[in-house]
Amino acid sequence: MFNRIFRNILLLFIGAYRTIGTTHLGGSCRFQPSCSEYALEAARLHPPHKAVRLIAVRISRCRPGGSFGYDPVPASDSRNLLQKEMP
């Protein structure tokens, strides 16, 4: 129950940022997928506490002289288990 509420609040903040924040900040990102797309995917694939950590780490790398390029969201543990079980 708590995870669902926290996830919905997180998705609300991400949606607000995508609607309001990117228009005022220029809408450019060093990474592919963009940081807001990354945040949405992390919030959908991972428990909220892990999604927030992944998002914070990603945003902390978005600085002058930082890395850039393709940086996908790591697979969730359940997805990894399913891939291991398949022949």
pTM value? 0.75
Q: How far is it, in rounded angstroms, from Cα 10 to Cα 57?
A: 16
Residue 10, both tokens: 């997180």
Q: pLDDT, tens digit, for every residue of 10-55?
A: 999 988 888 886 666 666 778 898 888 999 999 999 999 999 999 9
Q: Would you state the pLDDT for residue 68?
A: 86
CB-based burial, 52-73: b 16+ in 10 Å, e otherwise: bebbeebeeeeeeeeeeeeeeb
Q: How far is it, in rounded angstroms, from Cα 60 to Cα 66?
A: 9
Backbone angles phi, psi at 61, to 5 degrees: -85, -10
Could you tell me the residue ranges of all domains in the chain? 2-85
Q: pLDDT, tens digit, for every residue of 57-69?
A: 998 887 777 788 9
